[in-house]
Chains A and B, each alone.
Chain A
Amino acid sequence: MTITEGQTAVAAFTPAELYARILRDEPLFILDVRNEEEFRRSPIEGRTNLTTVNIPYFEFIEDEEAAAARVPTDREIFVVCAREGSSQYVAGVLHERGYQARYLEGGYVSWGNFYDVRDVVAADWGRIVQIARPARGDLSFAVISGGQAALIDPMRHTEVYRDLVAAAGATLTHIFDTHVHADHISGGPALAEETGATYYVHAYDAIHPIDMLPAVIAYTHVQEGDRFQIGAVTITARWFPGHTLGQVNYRFDAPDGRSALFTGDGIFLRSFGRPDLGGKGEAWTPILYRSITERLPRMASDDTLILPAHFSTLDEGSAEGIFAAPFAEVRATNDALRPRDEAEFTSYVLSHLPVFPPEYVEIKRVNIGLVTPCDGTANELELGKNICALSNA
């Protein structure tokens, strides 16, 4: 066994390359060398051609020969660990043994914090841009028109959004959070402070539902019917309580008649937002039922593009990684939205609730300013994919 600090003979691969290969559904062999618990909590997921094997790095330290024997020799090996060091070590071991192996630059942390930016719509009035964090299944959006920009559900790495707005030659004026998120840290309040744009959230979400403590961040209360002009397009707030009491969908109208609905965690393409993350599942489920059956049809027509804040699996999106569909299609394909009476709906919801991740209570505290985590803690809080939707199983 020869081990030196800082082996450099092996090449790295970036999160951007990884995501491009996943979107193209190229055959990909991931060797995840994190411990089993971390691997189970946040595996890298692909479409149909991604194979993952978990062999913790310490098994290579313990018995290099036996561990290496479990790795295929006939293809390139993409080695992943938490922070880079161990995957570099294992890729080095494999390299010396004649394998073709590379390691993920920055480790899983950099994959978790990787953003993919692409246009959903580009027209003469402007653009709708999707900003995704593929590892987490998180989606956010920018609306750019007439030199003005609005953001919907921006995430923690605010420079991604500032760069996007600057590259478009626009000024950020409005930041909308559809609700106070439980699964990830919002970039909204920080962006408002950095840019002077106004941060909007519904006041019902500015009270922590479990602590019953009020927000200490600066925000502007948004309510049903509020209208905002962003260049040539109009954005209208539509209250959609259920996932949270203050969940707001934002209706987008362009001068060419095109419409979209930023649904946050109201509805997703294949599911909808679980009503139990505030700890009041039984009380909030009937409210969600009325939002879905009565409010939603008044917010969207058949051709309104549904743009949610999450996806659960990559196949919800297009080959290019755009997660959007006209309302008529969502209604037809989203089993969770199938017509049900209230009793059926309630039993459907209660039988499809996934685990309640304990860190979600803390993330809500962060999002209304009750606690301020350092970067390392923020990465840990946000590890793995969101669990905001009902499960489809």
Chain B
Amino acid sequence: MSIAYDQTLDVKGAKCPMPLVKSRKAVNELPVGQVLKVIATDRGSVADFQGWVKTAKNVELLAQETVNEGGQDLFVHYLKRTA
């Protein structure tokens, strides 16, 4: 997937709720309009990020993808700070 992004957040190995807690913090530090790529190993993050952006005030979920890296599933989320 060719989504342009500005920063990367690696939360591999982090369990719920930490992928989302750290993403929230990283989005807060992101300039408005920029995109954060989050890489997680927690499968639950896929549905949780979809639910989160519905209630979040300034975050848009541009895309999600699952990539397999060395036998391990990585769940990748592209978050844009909108305001």
- How many chain A residues sit at the interface, stated as a range, is 10 to 19
In the complex, how many angstroms separate the beta carbon of B49 from the nearest chain A beta carbon? 8
User: How many Å lie between the Cα of A89 and that of B14 in the bound state?
Assistant: 14
| B71 sits at the interface (CB 8 A) | no
User: A37 touching B51 by the CB < 8 A rule?
Assistant: yes
Per-residue interface assignment for chain B, residues 40 to 77, with 1 indicating a CB less than 8 Å from any chain A CB and 0 otherwise? 00011001101110011100000000000000000000
- Measured between beta carbons, the chain B residues less than 8 angstroms from A348 are none
User: How many Å lie between the Cα of A37 and that of B49 in the bound state?
Assistant: 12
Picked from A62, A83, A89, the residue with its CB within 8 Å of the CB of B52 is A62
| B32 sits at the interface (CB 8 A) | no
Whether A85 touches B51, Cβ cut-off 8 Å, given contacts A61-B24, A62-B57, is no
- Measured between beta carbons, the chain B residues less than 8 angstroms from A38 are 47
Of residues 1 to 58 in A, which have CB atoms within 8 Å of B's CB atoms? 3, 5, 35-38, 56-58
Picked from A3, A59, A81, the residue with its CB within 8 Å of the CB of B16 is A81
User: A37 touching B16 by the CB < 8 A rule?
Assistant: no
With CB as the reference atom, state the residue of chain A lying closest to B44: A82
In the complex, how many angstroms separate the beta carbon of B52 from the nearest chain A beta carbon? 4
User: How many Å lie between the Cα of A85 and that of B50 in the bound state?
Assistant: 19
User: How many Å lie between the Cα of A328 and that of B18 in the bound state?
Assistant: 55
Whether A62 touches B55, Cβ cut-off 8 Å, given contacts A5-B18, A83-B16, A86-B16, is yes
User: A61 touching B17 by the CB < 8 A rule?
Assistant: yes
User: A58 touching B15 by the CB < 8 A rule?
Assistant: no
- Measured between beta carbons, the chain B residues less than 8 angstroms from A83 are 15-16, 44
User: How many Å lie between the Cα of A319 and that of B24 in the bound state?
Assistant: 46
User: How many Å lie between the Cα of A36 and that of B47 in the bound state?
Assistant: 9
User: How many Å lie between the Cα of A135 and that of B15 in the bound state?
Assistant: 24
Picked from B16, B52, B55, the residue with its CB within 8 Å of the CB of A85 is B16
Whether A56 touches B24, Cβ cut-off 8 Å, given contacts A61-B17, A85-B15, A86-B16, is no
User: How many Å lie between the Cα of A57 and that of B56 in the bound state?
Assistant: 12
User: B20 touching A58 by the CB < 8 A rule?
Assistant: yes
User: B55 touching A58 by the CB < 8 A rule?
Assistant: yes
Per-residue interface assignment for chain B, residues 11 to 37, with 1 indicating a CB less than 8 Å from any chain A CB and 0 otherwise? 000011110110010000000000000
- Measured between beta carbons, the chain B residues less than 8 angstroms from A89 are 17, 21
With CB as the reference atom, state the residue of chain A lying closest to B49: A58
- Measured between beta carbons, the chain A residues less than 8 angstroms from B15 are 83, 85
- Measured between beta carbons, the chain A residues less than 8 angstroms from B50 are 35
User: B21 touching A35 by the CB < 8 A rule?
Assistant: no
User: B18 touching A58 by the CB < 8 A rule?
Assistant: no
In the complex, how many angstroms separate the beta carbon of A77 from the nearest chain B beta carbon? 17
User: B51 touching A62 by the CB < 8 A rule?
Assistant: no
With CB as the reference atom, state the residue of chain B lying closest to A88: B17
Whether A85 touches B47, Cβ cut-off 8 Å, given contacts A59-B55, A62-B52, is no
User: How many Å lie between the Cα of A5 and that of B17 in the bound state?
Assistant: 9
- Measured between beta carbons, the chain B residues less than 8 angstroms from A37 are 47, 51
User: A85 touching B17 by the CB < 8 A rule?
Assistant: yes
- Most chain A CB neighbours (cut-off 10 Å) among B16, B18, B44, B56: B16
In the complex, how many angstroms separate the beta carbon of A55 from the nearest chain B beta carbon? 10
User: How many Å lie between the Cα of A3 and that of B43 in the bound state?
Assistant: 22
- Measured between beta carbons, the chain A residues less than 8 angstroms from B17 are 57-58, 61, 85-86, 89
The 6 A-B residue pairs whose C-beta atoms are closest, nearest first, are A58-B52, A35-B51, A86-B17, A85-B16, A89-B17, A85-B15
6 examples of A-B residue contacts, CB within 8 angstroms: A35-B50, A56-B48, A61-B24, A62-B24, A85-B18, A376-B43
Give residues in A with beta carbon < 8 Å to B.
3, 5, 35-38, 56-59, 61-62, 81-83, 85-86, 89, 376
Known contacts A57-B17, A83-B15, A86-B17; can you find 7 more A-B pairs with CB under 8 A?
A3-B21, A5-B18, A61-B24, A62-B24, A82-B16, A83-B44, A86-B16
